[in-house]
Copies of this chain bind each other. A is one copy, B any other.
Amino acid sequence: MPAPDSIGIVHTQYFTFAADRPFILESGAPLSPVTLAYETYGRLNADRSNAVLVVHALSGGAHAAGYRTADDPKPGWWDDAIGPGKAFDTDRFFVICSNVLGSCYGSSGPSSIDPATGQPYGLRFPVVTIGDMVRAQVALIDHLGIEKLLCVAGGSVGGMQVLEWAARHGERVRAAIPLATTARSNAMQIALSEVGRQAIYADPNWQNGDYYANGRRPDAGLAVARMIAHITYLSEQAMHRKFGRRLQSQERFGYQFQTEFQVESYLRHQGNAFIQRFDANSYLYITKAMDYFDLTMPAGSLAAALAGAAAVKFLVVSFTSDWLYPSHHSKELVSALTAVGADVSYLDIESSAGHDAFLVEVDTMTRLLGSFMDRLASEEGIRS
């Protein structure tokens, strides 16, 4: 039975648009129709001023909080932060989370059926950008009758979406919480994405993306991509503390090529679990969107790009041991926001948890997000 501070059992909903007139992507390519899977928690108030959009990272989905069934063992991905009395307090706020365009959890993506052929798109699905993901979210917000979001919050690729919302749709957002992210993917981040993609391409079962029909999926390649990514989500110190040099199930070295260190076993488990739940093509599309993300373009500078976000209130958070999106990315963002006169709170949180800190430093994040949301609610006159 869900705990009293759980939102309880939730159901995913679907919003389909652009059925008649295609949604034109940043690339110029048309997409029609477009479906977004989404969930909502709490109730939209009478003046529609209490809506919080929560945006997910690479492998997340619309299921951010609560349970799917009464005996579901695992809640949504940000259940620590969303629920009655939590930071995103569902007694006060109407929380929305939608699966990003290009993903594989109910929103249109490469595994969706292409209406032109009746077959899954595969690589015929057009390449989407963070801007496209966010414009689809704007359509969802319009559909829900929300003129202005109280807040948009998310970490990692979710943080990129938060920044995109603030920079290009600033008039639709009161506050923004970009966590452990960057306004511009740099060479190292692109390199790490690309090596994951190369692992997928290298798997003969990938079949240039057309693996849906014959049941031979690029599991081995996707697992390697996930293992690489998992290392980047942790820190040297966190891995050392968690695994050290401990062996998994034997007393001494086996002198064979088997999984023997605990950290190897952990990585293998992460890889195997991921292939059960994620689509390799979606991995390609979302990492590509990350790589393309550069808020400074076409404006020429971050400050110019953020001119439209001057009225948005920001809480920017980075973590000292995050080497995937190191703190200096957030500091650069904060400088630009300060330059345009935005109201910015910035914290570089001392943590050894690496990039994952935005999800695993629960106590710190609960306090921080909670007090920011409290202040926001009080300023905007939002009560439970």
A residues near B, CB below 8 A? 27, 29, 123, 126-127, 184-188, 190-192, 194-195, 197-199, 201-204, 220-221, 223-224, 227-228, 231, 234-236, 239-240, 242-245, 253, 255-257, 259, 261-264, 267-268, 271, 284, 288, 291-292, 294, 323, 326
Is the beta-carbon distance between B188 and A202 smaller than 8 angstroms?
no
Is the beta-carbon distance between B204 and A242 smaller than 8 angstroms?
no
Is the beta-carbon distance between A242 and B187 smaller than 8 angstroms?
yes
Residue of B nearest to A257 (CB): B284
Separation of A244 and B220 alpha carbons in the complex (Å): 31
| Given A123-B257, A127-B256, A284-B257, also A198-B186 (CB < 8 A) | no
Is the beta-carbon distance between A264 and B127 smaller than 8 angstroms?
no
Find A288's partner among B127, B234, B257, B294 (CB 8 Å cutoff).
B257
Query: 6 interchain pairs (CB within 8 A)?
Result: A187-B242, A190-B261, A198-B268, A236-B326, A257-B284, A257-B288
Is the beta-carbon distance between A187 and B239 smaller than 8 angstroms?
yes
Closest CB of chain B to A246's CB: distance in Å?
A: 9
Closest CB of chain B to A236's CB: distance in Å?
A: 4
Is the beta-carbon distance between B243 and A227 smaller than 8 angstroms?
no
Separation of A324 and B244 alpha carbons in the complex (Å): 16
Is the beta-carbon distance between B223 and A202 smaller than 8 angstroms?
yes
Find A255's partner among B29, B203, B224, B271 (CB 8 Å cutoff).
B29
Query: Which residues of B have CB within 8 Å of A188?
Result: 231, 234-236, 239-240, 263
Closest CB of chain B to A258's CB: distance in Å?
A: 10
Is the beta-carbon distance between A195 and B253 smaller than 8 angstroms?
no
What 3 pairs between A and B have smallest CB-CB spacing?
A202-B220, A27-B255, A187-B239
Is the beta-carbon distance between A224 and B245 smaller than 8 angstroms?
no
Query: Which residues of B have CB within 8 Å of A235?
Result: 188
Residue of B nearest to A239 (CB): B187
Is the beta-carbon distance between B199 and A199 smaller than 8 angstroms?
yes
Query: Which residues of B have CB within 8 Å of A271?
Result: 198
Separation of A262 and B236 alpha carbons in the complex (Å): 28
Residue of B nearest to A193 (CB): B264
Separation of A245 and B188 alpha carbons in the complex (Å): 10
Separation of A267 and B123 alpha carbons in the complex (Å): 23
Is the beta-carbon distance between B228 and A195 smaller than 8 angstroms?
yes
Closest CB of chain B to A71's CB: distance in Å?
A: 34
Separation of A190 and B246 alpha carbons in the complex (Å): 11
Separation of A288 and B239 alpha carbons in the complex (Å): 18
Query: Which residues of B have CB within 8 Å of A259?
Result: 194
Query: Which residues of B have CB within 8 Å of A234?
Result: 188
Closest CB of chain B to A266's CB: distance in Å?
A: 8
| Given A240-B187, A245-B294, also A227-B255 (CB < 8 A) | no
Query: Which residues of B have CB within 8 Å of A127?
Result: 255-257
Query: Which residues of B have CB within 8 Å of A191?
Result: 227, 231, 239, 263-264, 267
Is the beta-carbon distance between A236 and B190 smaller than 8 angstroms?
no
